[in-house]
Amino acid sequence: MRVLSGIQPSGKLHLGNYFGMMKPALELQKDGEAFLFIANYHALTTVDDAGALRAATHDVALDFLACGLDTDRTVFFRQSDVPAVTELTWLLSTVTPMGLLERCHSYKDKLAKGIAPSHALFAYPVLMAADILAYQSNVVPVGRDQKQHVEVTRDIAIKFNMKAGRDVFTIPEPCIRDSVAVVPGIDGQKMSKSYNNHIELFGGEKDIRARIMRVVTDSTPLEDPKDPEKCSVFALYRLVASENQVREMRGKYLAGGYGYGSAKKELFEAVWSYFEPFRKRREELSRDPGHVESVLERGAQRAREEAGRTLKSARSALGLE
């Protein structure tokens, strides 16, 4: 089984990225051959600064390696190091109906957030399909809100295979993980850099503490019982604390006499402790940038081999070879 995941280097990674995508992707390493790419082509739809994109791409690589990426089990690479993907995107475009793209909610969502409309933003799902199909991926882990991306990829692959008269592409399946957390931001919405409600994965101690202390809570008085299931502080705490710690905090909420300020202090301590080994590993890796580059190049070579075979088959099916 081949599993594929990707993440955009559109800024510093945060707790939502880790628990929503990174941790599940790292756990899937043991289930089969994993392909994991840094989606810097996709990032071009929102990142205008070349230097910022290079730095963010390097940071994402550092973050994944620090958090336990096993390069013996995972093919880890930059999207832009596999040029076959962009040619494949064009070939897939020839069988992609406009109506299919017009129904994609991601384009509408991004326009609503103020992102300037462009062909790249509109055709984003076709590039995503190429990312998935280039490596003959069997499974793509996604949250429920991203399931449509895989459904569009399936539609495009089926149309292409029908036109070719043979199975050029493996039809991928979405892996919906109900256990994957939807991580609340400091304002209670889903954590996102777009909302500036995030808590950085490897931010400084002072900044992380300050942002945690800004997590929005209700106005329940200190002495009254509180509902942990309706509190973002508790939702974040249960991601980073042990079962016993979660049980203890739940009891404090329900008993009353426990303020949100105290809960936030406990949350900070738990977050800081959880990521401490990752921070140490990241500091070690950052002192050897050549190692990070060698890991990405080794992964890119393997990815180019796989994508090259797929592209050759697609070109032949369309009469280009």
What values do phi and psi take at 22, rounded to 5? -65, -50
Among candidate residues 108, 110, 147, 163, the one labeled active-site is 110
Mean pLDDT of 35-64: 95
Residue 163 annotated as catalytic: no
Residue 280 annotated as catalytic: no
Domain with 60, as residue range(s), is: 2-182+289-317
Please tell me whether residues 293 and 270 are part of one structural domain.
no
CA distance 152 to 128: 9
- Model confidence pLDDT, tens digit, residues 141-194: 887 767 888 999 999 999 999 999 999 999 999 887 655 567 999 999 999 988
Instruction: Give the pLDDT confidence score for residue 260 in this predicted structure.
Output: 97
DSSP state of 179: T
DSSP state of 20: I
CA distance 81 to 64: 18
Look-up of token digits 């109906």: 97
Among candidate residues 193, 226, 252, 264, the one labeled active-site is 193
| Average pLDDT along the chain | 93
Among candidate residues 12, 147, 159, 190, the one labeled active-site is 190
Instruction: Give the pLDDT confidence score for residue 57 in this predicted structure.
Output: 97
Write out the two tokens for 77.
């690479």
Task: Output the pTM of the full model.
Answer: 0.90
Please tell me whether residues 52 and 152 are part of one structural domain.
yes
Residue 110 annotated as catalytic: yes
Question: What domain count does the chain have?
Answer: 2
- Model confidence pLDDT, tens digit, residues 102-149: 998 888 888 887 888 899 999 999 999 999 999 999 999 887 767 888
What is the domain-level CATH number for residue 254?
1.10.240.10
Please tell me whether residues 106 and 229 are part of one structural domain.
no
